[in-house]
Structure 1
Amino acid sequence: MTSATHRDAAEIGRTAQGPREVPPLGEQRAAADLSHVDTTLANGLRVLAVRKANVPLVELRLRIPFAGGEQLHAATAEVLAETMLTGTARRDRIGVDTELALIGGELSTSVDPERLAISGNALASGLPTLLDVLSDVLTSASYVDNEVARESARLVERLAVSRTQPRVIAREALLKHVYGEHPVTREIPQAEDVSRVTPEGVRALHAAAVLPRGSVLVLVGDIDPDNVVGEIEKALQGWKSEGSAAVLPALPQVTGGDVLLVPRDGAVQSQIRFIAQALPRTDPGYAALQLANLAYGGYFSSRLVENIREDKGYTYSAHSGFEFTGATATVGVDADTANEVTAAAVLETQYELGRLGLVPPTAEEVESVRQYAIGSLLTSTGSQTGLASQLAALASTGLGEEWLAAHPARLAAVTVDEVAQAALEFFAPTRFTGVVVGDAESLAPKLGALGGFTVGEPAAS
C-alpha cells in the first residue's frame, strides 16, 4: 500500500453529504456486582472465588510462584509441566483424562520463569471431581520414568524447531539485552539441559516447589463463593508445607540506551523490539499511561499502526503493550519488517515516540482510546474464561475483583492533560532500548547512520 492510495479514518468516514456521524456513546454502565470471596486458607493458599452463573460451568486457574536459579531449573520445570498430568498415585494418564472427560472438563499446565500455571474447567456439577483430580496431581503426581523420557524427547524436538523462529530469537535477544543473566531470561530451556533431566530430578522439584503458601487459586463460574471455599479447603487439605513458593527476584530497572543489532545472517526480514520501564497496575498513574499507550500503538487505530502499517506499508503488524512481572511493569514496541525498510521503520517508530509527548493525544484521541479500553475490558471479562484469566493475572500483584470492577471508572476519570503528561514522561525515545534482529551486512550501515546502535553477537540458531 502506498501513501497515494492511503485513506485515514476521517476520510473513510466521509460521505458525499459530509462526514458520517459517529453514533453517540451510551451511558457508562456500572460494572457488574459479582458475588465473590477472597481469602487465604490455613495452608497459605489464596483463594479467589467469583460467582458468574451465565452458564453452568466453572473455570479454574492455579498460579504457583516457581522461580529457580539452578542451571537445570528451567529445563526441569518444563519437563515437570509436560508430565504433571500423566499420572498420580491413584490414577494413570488414562484415568486422569477419563475422569475429566466424564465431567466435561480438562486441565492443562504451563510454566515460565515466574510461575507454574494449572488451568482448567468443568461442568459446575463436576467441580468436586475437578478439585479431587487437582488435589491428586498436586500431592501425588508420579512422574514415572517412561512418561518423563517420552515427554522430554518430544520437548527436545519442539525446542529445536522453536529456536529457529525469528520471533523466539528476537524475544530471547531482547531479554538478554535488558536483563542479562536474571532468571527471567530463561523462558525457553536449552535442549541439551532437557536431555539431562531425570525423573528423580522432576519428582524432587515437585516436592520442593509445588507449594500452596504464596500461590493463588481462582474459581469463576456457577458456584456459591462462600460454600466453595469449604469445598476447596477439604479437597486440598493434603496439600501443605511450611515453606513458601519461590518468588522471582525483582527485575532490574530498564534504562534507555543503545539498541542492539543482533546479526542473523541471510535473514530477509527483521524483528524490531523496543522496551522501557512503565508503571504497575497498582500505581495511581497507570490508567493515564494505559490510554497513552493505546494512542501510541496499543490498538489498530493508533498512531504507530497508522504510520508504519497503513500509510507506509512497512509492516503487517505493529504493536505496543505492557508486560507485568511481579510488581514491575514494562512497555514494549514490536514490529517485523523487510530488510530494505527496517531502518526507515525504526526511524518512524522513534519519531512517533517523540511525537506522542511533543504533540500529545487530542481530546478526540483520548476519548477514542478511553472507550476502546473500557469496552475491551468489559468484553474480555464478560465470559467466565476471560474473567478467570484476568483475575489470575491480577492476583500476582495482590489485586482482585475489586480492582477489576473499579478500573472502568478510573479510565473514565482520566483527563486529557494526564494522558499528555504520561505520554511525555514515559514515551520519550531516550527511555527506550531494545534489539533489532536481522541481516547485519545490509542493516548495519543504515542503522549506524541513525545513531544509537551497537552490533552484538550473532543470534543463536
Structure 2
Amino acid sequence: MTIDRTTAPEFKAINDISLIEPQHIKLANGCNVFCFNNGGQELLRMEWVFGNLRFDAAKPLLNQAIMALLTEGTQNYTSAQIADKVDFYGAFLQAEYGFDHSQVTLFSLNKHLSETLPMVKEVLTNAIFPQKEVETYVRNQQQKLQVSLQKNDVVARRVFNKALNGDTIYGFAAEATHYQALDRADLLEHYKHMFRPDNCTLIIAGKIEQQALDMINDLFGKSWENNGEPADTTQPEVVRGTEYLYYVEKTDALQSAIRLGIPAVNRTHPDFPALQVLNTVLGGYFGSRLMTNIREDKGYTYGIGSGISSLKHNALWFIASEVGADVCKAAIAEIEKELNLLRTELIADDELVLVKNYMLGSLLGSLENVFSHADKFKNVYFASIGLDYYQQYTQKVKAVTAAELQQLANQYLNFDNFYKVIVGKY
C-alpha cells in the first residue's frame, strides 16, 4: 500500500461528545456514591468529596488547614505509619483543598482495597491533628508566605481576589497572624462537622467489582454515622471592592504583575458557552489575540492569558500577565485595545472556525480515560446541572455567530468596568 504524503488527512467535524453515565448508589447514611465502571486494569480512583463549611472571617484558615493536616496523624496511626502503609501497597492517598469542595483521593489496586480502604476510613473518622504537626504546619506556612510575598504575581493575585470576592472563602488571603491563631480545638470541631457522610459524595472510577462495593458499604455506609448538627456549607454573600484600580508600587521591580478582571457568570448561565468562545479568542489559547499582540508582536511579555473562573457562588473573567516594568502602561493600553476590537469589529470567519475547532478538540481530547469522564461529571454535578450539559455546550459553541459574540463583548467587556491590579511599576 502506497501512502500519498502530499495529501492532508481528511478533516472531520466534532458533532457530539459522549460521556459515561455513572451508576448512582445512595448509602443508608446519606452518602452519595457514583460509579464509573469502565477500566481495563485492576485500578480504582476513589474520591471522597466534602462541601467546605461556611467561611468564618474570625477563623478563616480552618478549611485549608484541615486538608493540609488531615493525614498527619489519627487515633491509631502516626503520619509516618499512614504513609508507609499506603506506600507498601503501591497506593496513593492525597487530601486536597478547593474553594467550594475539598476531597480525599485514593488510587489503589483492587486486590489491596482490604488494606487501603480502612486507612481512608481512619483518616476520615479518627484524625486528631497532633499539636506538634499543627505547630510545624504554622511555622512552614509562615516561611512560605514570607517568600511568596516577594513575588509580584502572588501579591497581584491576592489583591485581585480580595477586590472581586470580598470577605469570602474566594477572597481570603492569609497573613502570618492567621496562621499564629490556628487552634487545634477549632480544627477538631470543624473536622467533626465537615466530615460527615451526608456531606460526602464518593466518586469511584476504574474497574469496579462487587467486592469493592461491598467493602465500601461496610466501611462507609454501615459504620459511618452522622452525629451532631448537619454541615453548614452556605457561604457569605460576595461584596466587591468599591475601587477599580489597585496599585502596589515596588520601586526596584524589573517586571510588573497585571491582573485585570470583571465579575462574570458561571457554567449554569446560558451565556457561558459563548463567553468561553469569546474568551478563547481573546486570551484562552496560545494563538489568542492577547498572545499574538502583546507577546509575539510587541514583545512585552513571555506569556499572557485570560480565563473565566466558574465557582459555585461567584464567577470571574480575568486577564493575567507579567510584563517589563517600563512597558506596563503600554501593555494595559494594548489589552484595552483588544477588548474594544471585540466590541466594535466582527470576528473573522476563519478565526472563529479555528477557535471553535480548538475548543471542541480540546474537550474531546480531555476525555482520554474513565478518570477524565468522572472529572467532567464532577463539574456538572456540583453545579447542579445535568450530564447533558456537555452535549448542549458543544452545540452552543458550534452555533454561536460572530454577531452574537460582538453583542456579548459589548455586554460584558467594558474596560471601564474592569478591576485593575498592578504590582511593580506603572
Residue of structure 1 aligned with 2:107, choices 121, 131, 139: 121
Q: Which aligned pairs between 1:6-45 and structure 2 lie closer than 5 A? A: 24-28=10-14, 30-45=16-31
Residue of structure 2 aligned with 1:349, choices 321, 324, 335: 335
Which residue is 2:236 aligned to? 249
Q: Which string of whole-angstrom CA distances, capped at 9 and with x for unpartnered residues, describes residues 116-138 of structure 1?
A: 33233222444454433222211
Hey, what's the Cα distance between the residues in 1 that align with 2:57 and 2:241? Answer: 25
Quote how far apart the aligned CAs of 1:189 are.
2.4
Which residue is 1:411 aligned to? 397
Change (3 A) 1:133 1:295: same
**Mapped pair 1:235 → 2:219:** yes
**Mapped pair 1:79 → 2:95:** no
- SS at 1:109's partner residue? strand
Q: Which string of whole-angstrom CA distances, capped at 9 and with x for unpartnered residues, describes residues 217-240 of structure 1?
A: 32222225x886665343213142
Hey, what's the Cα distance between the residues in 2 that align with 1:127 and 1:401? Answer: 29
Which residue is 2:3 aligned to? none
Which letter maps to 2:320? D
Hey, what's the Cα distance between the residues in 1 that align with 2:18 and 2:283? Answer: 29
Change (3 A) 1:39 1:357: farther
Range moving further from structure 2, 388-397 or 363-372 = 388-397
Which letter maps to 2:260? F
Range moving further from structure 2, 283-292 or 314-323 = 283-292
Q: Which string of whole-angstrom CA distances, capped at 9 and with x for unpartnered residues, describes residues 347-388 of structure 1?
A: 000110111121132222221111111111122231344444
Q: Which string of whole-angstrom CA distances, capped at 9 and with x for unpartnered residues, describes residues 318-340 of structure 1?
A: 10001122143221111110111
Which residue is 2:167 aligned to? 181
Hey, what's the Cα distance between the residues in 1 that align with 2:392 and 2:44? Answer: 24
User: Contact between 2:262 and 2:419, CA under 8 Å: does it hold in 1?
Assistant: yes
Change (3 A) 1:22 1:330: farther
TM-score (norm 1): 0.81
Change (3 A) 1:245 1:52: farther
Residue of structure 2 aligned with 1:206, choices 185, 191, 207: 191
User: Contact between 1:326 and 1:397, CA under 8 Å: does it hold in 2?
Assistant: yes
Which letter maps to 2:137? E
Q: Which aligned pairs between 1:34-433 and structure 2 lie closer than 5 A? A: 34-71=20-57, 73-186=59-172, 188-223=173-208, 231-237=215-221, 238-241=224-227, 242-252=229-239, 258-399=244-385, 401-404=387-390, 407-433=393-419
Change (3 A) 1:163 1:128: farther
Q: Any gaps of 5 or more consecutive residues in structure 2?
A: 1-5
Range moving further from structure 2, 239-248 or 350-359 = 239-248
User: Contact between 2:33 and 2:201, CA under 8 Å: does it hold in 1?
Assistant: yes
Q: How many residues align?
A: 418
Which letter maps to 1:200? A
Q: Which string of whole-angstrom CA distances, capped at 9 and with x for unpartnered residues, describes residues 48-105 of structure 1?
A: 3212315432223333222444345333433322221122223332332233224322
Hey, what's the Cα distance between the residues in 2 that align with 1:137 and 1:185? Answer: 29
Change (3 A) 1:191 1:400: farther
Q: Which string of whole-angstrom CA distances, capped at 9 and with x for unpartnered residues, describes residues 155-183 of structure 1?
A: 22222222222221111111222233334
Hey, what's the Cα distance between the residues in 2 that align with 1:279 and 1:178? Answer: 13
- SS at 1:184's partner residue? coil
Hey, what's the Cα distance between the residues in 2 that align with 1:432 and 1:204? Answer: 40
Quote how far apart the aligned CAs of 1:22 are.
7.4
Hey, what's the Cα distance between the residues in 1 that align with 2:119 and 2:125? Answer: 10
Hey, what's the Cα distance between the residues in 1 that align with 2:176 and 2:134? Answer: 15
TM-score (norm 2): 0.87
Change (3 A) 1:248 1:113: farther
Quote how far apart the aligned CAs of 1:206 are.
0.9
Hey, what's the Cα distance between the residues in 2 that align with 1:354 and 1:24? Answer: 37
Hey, what's the Cα distance between the residues in 2 that align with 1:428 and 1:23? Answer: 42
Q: Which string of whole-angstrom CA distances, capped at 9 and with x for unpartnered residues, describes residues 20-58 of structure 1?
A: 997652142643452412454443333332123154322
User: Contact between 2:164 and 2:263, CA under 8 Å: does it hold in 1?
Assistant: no
Hey, what's the Cα distance between the residues in 2 that align with 1:33 and 1:112? Answer: 24
Change (3 A) 1:97 1:274: same
Q: What percent identity do the matched residue pairs reach?
A: 23
Hey, what's the Cα distance between the residues in 2 that align with 1:389 and 1:419? Answer: 28
- SS at 1:436's partner residue? strand
Change (3 A) 1:147 1:394: same
Change (3 A) 1:139 1:192: same
Q: Which string of whole-angstrom CA distances, capped at 9 and with x for unpartnered residues, describes residues 394-432 of structure 1?
A: 433124644345533443333443333323322232332
